[in-house]
């Protein structure tokens, strides 16, 4: 009996061991540490105690009739849960990453075979496991509230799913924030900022959950699902960028940390275009309005990302040069590889893609039914104007400061600040001059250096076509000047990729190996 | 062509703004060699070691691990390097076995291999019997051994140990020395830094001396001594106790430039040639000072270090 059970246990242990081999080691370590840590233990039991107290108070206040308002009780309990999964779990994720520096384990971690993205996703999944523990612990309380009536199962399922997604998003942002600073003082400052953001997030998500639970009619409205889709797209994009940035910050400087963010940006732009196409099938008359909103959010985001891509060190690191694909033409590969010149090319293409996507999604639609709403032409002009402004403010100062980018991280930071400063200067100074010279508030923004004026030219119906054409010509001219100013960088950047690919091909031929060398060798047992 | 060196450092330079922390440092470590990395505080030892371990990017130069550039493929290099930083970290709420098991998983060890390897490193570092102890309750020496065990998990061919003996008691130091020696015998290339030069002298086969970011000397202790020794130190003891007279007599000898009292006798500098030593000895014997001991002194690592460095920090 003993032998059999021991044998069974050994077999079981072996299976468990083999299964656990497939898990990210960080998840196992983090969950183990969290469960033993005081932070999780204290906060977990505090929230459970709070939920129990809420139930007791509700039961006591139910009175002689014994009727409990299920909806109200569920709302309050969910509020407690929201604090735990949208506040405490992301905070734990922040502490978990920053403790790697605090405990001096960071170096040991990055020296192991674990790739930076596995470290980030491991910590994120560990946060997810903790969130699931909270959901499981709250299940009996919520089931009690559900049994009291007043809530439908669809609303409950929706708020739970949305809450999990929001918890993961908050956690990945917290992880990203924790990689920003290595010094304790900066980490404390970041913690305060994060705490404020998470508090707002908890309040907003609690409010949204309450609205959804009390308004089941929302589920039949197509606008609600459009809004949910938009928020999910924005959330996933934001989460992916946060993960990319966190991964980049803990990667070896020679590693390629730029391509993932470029791929995510491309996917996000394609997602925006797809989203517009979907909006067109649902509500054709409002599509230009949606296109304008997406342009107004998409292009500034692209601008900020492009500031980073266009100010990267121009030369390929030895590691990246040794990984350049040899079977794809250099011109196709180059925009995705790190480097300022390649960043200029990629930014230009991405701006063009988004503007063309807007044009494609609104072309052929009837003019706006309401006079002041933008029609398809207005939305297209608006998108192209924003793209042009973004490109001009990126490429012209970018070309001037590009020489400084070779000198290291500080010079790159200065270059980034210069580009942002030129944008701020270009927008603010003429506005100030106009304001001081007696123009009213609205007219002080009417100068060609600000995208606000660009937007007005294309959206306002009273603008003469000739004035619009002059504006288009001027913007196009400056974009071309910006591109020409960066042309030598772009050519050098593409040539560098072609040469690196050529060197790899020659090496392969010399070694007699005709297959593509693996990018990453398998871990040694 | 296979490189004869496990670790080859070529012209490493690291600048922090205008401050040059490491300036064109080059040296090599062969398999089985234990190299002591010596320098005063702020000499650039840790920066160099961190660059070797791929944790810091050099501004110039390269690090080759078994002939392959660590900059071109840091991941491959990291698989061959075991780095023990001066401020090593531990996860306090894990046990020794869990800690090692986590890093074994992180190094890609799977199934039975992982269990066996963890057991082996625990045994090698003499942590057996303590596997279930929480890391937070371990003594400094035990934590040091645990960190060394972690460093050995993936069977690296190059070990970079930054101040491994710092803060250890005498027993801990002796144990660590034995472990490092054993690693050298296992064919691992070891680069070890320490301020306790007597420790290094006992375990190292070669030394690399660095000061203000620049290489002062490299090679075996004897080799460096031979190269650096421009003058010999000779110890002499007399029956006579007339110190001023002894000092005068010694300074009158050909080639003697300085004399200082030491451990009941005197230490004087001379060119070190046999001829000169013979003349000096003859003179002293002929004098009424009655010499009873006369020995050219072998330079130890400490003296070598002091003679090669100026003790200046950057």
Residue A525 near chain B (CB below 8 Å): yes
Contact pairs from chain A to chain B, CB under 8 Å: 105
pLDDT on residue B1: 52
Question: Distances from the Cα of A308 to the Cαs of A261, A301, B81, in angstroms?
Answer: 10, 11, 33
* Other Cβ atoms closer than 10 A to A144: 18
Chain centroid to Cα B158, Å, comes to 15
Phi, psi of A286 (to 5 degrees): -90, -5
pLDDT tens digits for chain A (525 residues)? 445 555 555 666 667 677 778 888 999 888 888 888 888 889 889 988 988 888 888 878 776 566 667 778 888 888 888 999 999 999 999 999 988 888 888 888 888 888 899 999 999 999 999 999 999 988 888 888 888 777 788 888 888 899 999 999 999 999 999 998 888 888 899 999 999 999 999 999 888 888 888 777 777 777 788 778 878 888 888 899 899 989 988 887 778 888 989 999 999 899 888 888 887 887 666 788 888 888 888 899 999 999 999 988 888 888 888 888 888 787 788 999 999 999 999 999 999 999 999 998 888 877 766 666 777 888 888 899 999 999 999 999 988 888 765 567 778 888 889 999 999 998 888 888 888 877 776 777 778 888 888 888 887 777 788 888 888 888 999 999 999 999 999 999 999 999 998 888 888 788 765 554 443 333 333
Closest to A319 (Cβ–Cβ): which among B71, B91, B114?
A: B71
pLDDT on residue A525: 32
CB contact under 8 A, B90 and A105: yes
Chain centroid to Cα A411, Å, comes to 26
Residue B281 near chain A (CB below 8 Å): no
Phi, psi of B61 (to 5 degrees): 90, 180
Q: How many CA atoms does the CB half-sphere of A149 hold within 13 Å?
A: 3
DSSP B18: T
Residues of A in contact with B118 (CB under 8 A): none
Report the distance separating Cα A378 and Cα A295, nearest Å: 12
CB contact under 8 A, A17 and B108: no
The radius of gyration computed from the CA coordinates of chain A, to the nearest angstrom, equals: 27
- Listing DSSP states for B93-136 in one string gives TSBHHHHHHHHHHHTT--HHHHHHHHHHHHHHTT-TT-TTSBGG
Q: Which two tokens stand for residue A59?
A: 């039961």
Residues of A in contact with B102 (CB under 8 A): 25, 28-29
Residues of B in contact with A524 (CB under 8 A): 79, 108, 154
The residue to which tokens 């100074």 are assigned = A429
pLDDT on residue A14: 66
DSSP A447: S
Closest to A108 (Cβ–Cβ): which among B17, B74, B150?
A: B150
Closest to A108 (Cβ–Cβ): which among B74, B79, B89?
A: B89
Closest to A29 (Cβ–Cβ): which among B76, B102, B111?
A: B102
pLDDT on residue A387: 93
CA distance A114 to chain B (A): 6
| Span B115-174, pLDDT tens digits | 899 999 998 888 888 888 988 888 888 888 899 899 999 999 999 999 888 777 788 788
Strands of the sheet with B232-238, listed across from one edge? B259-262, B265-270, B232-238, B291-297
Q: Which two tokens stand for residue A65?
A: 């009739």
CB contact under 8 A, A111 and B81: yes
pLDDT on residue B99: 92
Does residue A98 come out as left (phi exceeding 0), alpha (psi in the -120 to 50 range) or beta?
alpha
* Other Cβ atoms closer than 10 A to B222: 11
Report the distance separating Cα B287 and Cα A124, nearest Å: 84
Quote the longest CA-to-CA distance of chain A: 97
pLDDT on residue B52: 93
Residues lower than pLDDT 50 in chain B: none
CB contact under 8 A, A108 and B73: no
Closest to A113 (Cβ–Cβ): which among B79, B85, B92?
A: B79
Q: Is the ipTM of this complex over 0.90?
A: no
Q: Please check whether residue B253 is in contact with residue B280, taking contact to mean a CB–CB distance below 8 angstroms.
A: yes
CB contact under 8 A, B108 and A524: yes
CB contact under 8 A, B78 and A253: no
Does residue B304 come out as left (phi exceeding 0), alpha (psi in the -120 to 50 range) or beta?
alpha
CB contact under 8 A, B91 and A33: yes
Mutate to test the interface with A, among B10, B61, B105 (most CBs of A within 10 A): B105
The residue to which tokens 């106009």 are assigned = A434
Domains of chain B (ranges, CATH numbers): 7-226 (3.40.50.300), 230-298 (3.30.70.980)
pLDDT on residue A215: 79
Q: Which two tokens stand for residue A244?
A: 């990319």
Report the distance separating Cα B198 and Cα B200, nearest Å: 5
* Other Cβ atoms closer than 10 A to A216: 13
Q: Is B14 helix (H, G, I), strand (E, B) or coil?
A: strand
Residues of A in contact with B17 (CB under 8 A): 410
CA distance B71 to chain A (A): 7
Residues of B in contact with A29 (CB under 8 A): 91, 94, 98, 102
CB contact under 8 A, B55 and A17: no
Residue A510 near chain B (CB below 8 Å): no
CB contact under 8 A, B53 and A29: no
* Other Cβ atoms closer than 10 A to A224: 14
Q: Please check whether residue A166 is in contact with residue A234, taking contact to mean a CB–CB distance below 8 angstroms.
A: no
Report the distance separating Cα B58 and Cα B90, nearest Å: 27
pLDDT on residue A1: 43
Report the distance separating Cα A430 and Cα A450, nearest Å: 9
| Span A436-486, pLDDT tens digits | 877 776 777 778 888 888 888 887 777 788 888 888 888 999 999 999 999
Residues of A in contact with B150 (CB under 8 A): 108
Angle made by CA atoms A261, A265, A267, in degrees to the nearest 5:
115
CA distance A350 to chain B (A): 30
Mutate to test the interface with B, among A18, A24, A25, A108 (most CBs of B within 10 A): A108
Mutate to test the interface with A, among B76, B81, B89, B109 (most CBs of A within 10 A): B89
Residue B90 near chain A (CB below 8 Å): yes
Q: Convert A468-495 to b/e letters by CB count within 10 Å (16 or more is b).
A: beebbeebeebbeebbebbeebbebbbe
Residue A109 near chain B (CB below 8 Å): yes
CA distance B189 to chain A (A): 18
Q: How many CA atoms does the CB half-sphere of A394 hold within 13 Å?
A: 31
| Span A129-178, pLDDT tens digits | 999 999 998 888 888 888 877 778 888 888 889 999 999 999 999 999 99
pLDDT on residue A145: 80
pLDDT on residue A520: 39
**Which A-chain residues 12-71 have CB contacts (< 8 A) with chain B?**
17-18, 21, 25-26, 28-29, 32-33, 36-37
| Span A39-82, pLDDT tens digits | 888 988 998 898 888 888 887 877 656 666 777 888 888 888 89
pLDDT on residue B25: 92
Residue B97 near chain A (CB below 8 Å): no
pLDDT on residue A519: 39
Residue A254 near chain B (CB below 8 Å): yes
């Amino acid at each position: 009996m003993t032998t059999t059970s021991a044998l069974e246990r050994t077999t079981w242990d072996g299976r468990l061991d083999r299964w656990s081999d497939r898990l990210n080691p960080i998840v196992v370590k983090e969950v183990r540490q969290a469960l033993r840590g005081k932070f999780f233990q204290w906060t977990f039991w505090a929230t459970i105690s709070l939920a129990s107290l809420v139930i007791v108070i509700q039961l006591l206040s139910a009175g002689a009739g014994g009727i409990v308002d299920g909806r109200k009780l569920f709302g309050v309990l969910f509020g407690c849960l929201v604090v735990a999964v949208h506040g405490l779990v992301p905070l734990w994720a922040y502490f978990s990453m920053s403790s790697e520096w605090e405990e001096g384990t960071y170096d040991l971690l990055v020296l192991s075979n674990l790739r930076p993205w596995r470290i980030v996703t491991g910590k994120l999944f560990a946060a997810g496991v903790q969130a699931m523990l909270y959901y499981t612990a709250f299940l009996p309380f919520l089931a009690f509230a559900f049994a009291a009536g007043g809530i439908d199962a669809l609303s409950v399922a929706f708020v739970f799913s949305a809450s999990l997604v929001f918890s993961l998003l908050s956690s990945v942002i917290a992880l990203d924030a924790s990689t920003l600073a290595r010094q304790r003082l900066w980490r404390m400052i970041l913690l305060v900022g994060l705490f404020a953001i998470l508090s707002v997030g908890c309040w907003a998500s609690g409010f949204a959950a309450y609205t959804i639970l009390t308004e089941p009619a929302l589920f039949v409205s197509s606008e609600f699902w459009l809004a949910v889709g938009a928020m999910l797209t924005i959330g996933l994009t934001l989460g992916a960028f946060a993960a990319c940035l966190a991964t980049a910050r803990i990667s070896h400087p020679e590693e390629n940390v730029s391509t993932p963010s470029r791929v995510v940006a491309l996917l996000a732009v394609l997602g925006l275009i797809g989203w517009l196409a979907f909006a067109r099938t649902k509500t054709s008359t409002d599509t230009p309005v949606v296109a304008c909103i997406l342009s107004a959010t998409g292009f500034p985001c692209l601008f900020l990302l492009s500031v980073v891509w266009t100010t990267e060190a121009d030369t390929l690191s030895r590691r990246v040069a040794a990984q350049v694909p040899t079977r794809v033409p250099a011109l196709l590969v180059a925009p995705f590889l790190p480097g300022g010149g390649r960043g200029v090319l990629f930014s230009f293409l991405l701006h063009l893609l988004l503007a063309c996507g807007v044009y494609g999604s609104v072309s052929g639609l009837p003019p706006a039914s309401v006079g002041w709403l933008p029609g398809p032409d207005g939305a297209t002009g608006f998108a192209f104007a924003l793209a042009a402004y973004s490109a001009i403010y990126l490429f012209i100062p970018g070309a001037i400061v590009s020489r400084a980018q070779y000198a290291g991280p500080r010079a790159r930071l200065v270059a980034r600040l210069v580009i942002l400063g030129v944008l701020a200067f270009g927008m603010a100074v003429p506005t100030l001059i106009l304001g001081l010279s007696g123009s009213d508030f609205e007219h002080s923004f009417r100068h060609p250096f600000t995208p606000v004026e660009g937007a007005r030219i294309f959206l306002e119906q009273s603008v003469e076509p000739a004035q619009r054409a002059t504006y288009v010509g001027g913007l196009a001219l400056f974009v071309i000047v910006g591109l020409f100013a960066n042309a030598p960088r772009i050519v050098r950047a593409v040539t560098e990729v072609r040469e690196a690919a050529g060197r790899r091909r020659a090496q392969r031929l010399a070694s007699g190996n005709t297959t593509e060398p693996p990018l990453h060798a398998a871990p040694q047992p | 062509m296979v490189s004869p060196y496990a670790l080859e450092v070529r012209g490493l330079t690291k600048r922090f703004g205008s401050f040059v922390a490491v300036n064109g440092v080059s040296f090599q470590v062969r398999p089985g060699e234990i190299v002591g990395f010596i320098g005063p505080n702020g000499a650039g030892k840790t920066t160099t070691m961190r660059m070797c371990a791929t944790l810091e990017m050099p501004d110039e130069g390269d690090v080759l691990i078994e002939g392959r550039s660590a900059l071109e493929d840091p991941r491959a290099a990291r698989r061959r390097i075991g780095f023990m930083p001066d401020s090593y970290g531990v996860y306090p709420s894990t046990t020794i076995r869990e800690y090692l098991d986590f890093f074994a998983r992180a190094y890609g060890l799977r199934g039975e291999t992982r269990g066996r390897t963890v057991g082996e490193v625990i045994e090698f570092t003499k942590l057996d019997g303590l596997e279930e102890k929480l890391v937070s309750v371990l003594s400094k020496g035990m934590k040091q051994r645990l960190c060394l065990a972690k460093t050995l998990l993936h069977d690296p061919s190059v070990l970079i140990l930054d101040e491994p003996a710092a803060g250890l008691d005498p027993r801990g130091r002796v144990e660590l020395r034995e472990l490092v020696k054993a690693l050298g015998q296992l064919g691992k290339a070891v680069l070890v830094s320490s301020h306790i030069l007597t420790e290094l002298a006992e375990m190292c086969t070669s030394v690399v001396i660095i000061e203000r970011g620049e290489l002062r000397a490299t090679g075996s202790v004897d080799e460096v001594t031979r190269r650096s020794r421009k003058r010999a130190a000779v110890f002499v003891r007399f029956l006579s106790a007339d110190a001023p007279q002894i000092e005068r007599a010694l300074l009158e000898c050909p080639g003697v430039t300085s004399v200082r009292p030491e451990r009941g006798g005197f230490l004087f500098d001379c060119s070190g040639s046999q001829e000169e030593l013979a003349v000096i000895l003859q003179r002293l014997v002929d004098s009424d000072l009655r010499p009873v001991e006369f020995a050219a002194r072998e330079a130890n690592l400490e003296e070598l270090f002091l003679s090669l460095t100026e003790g200046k920090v950057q």
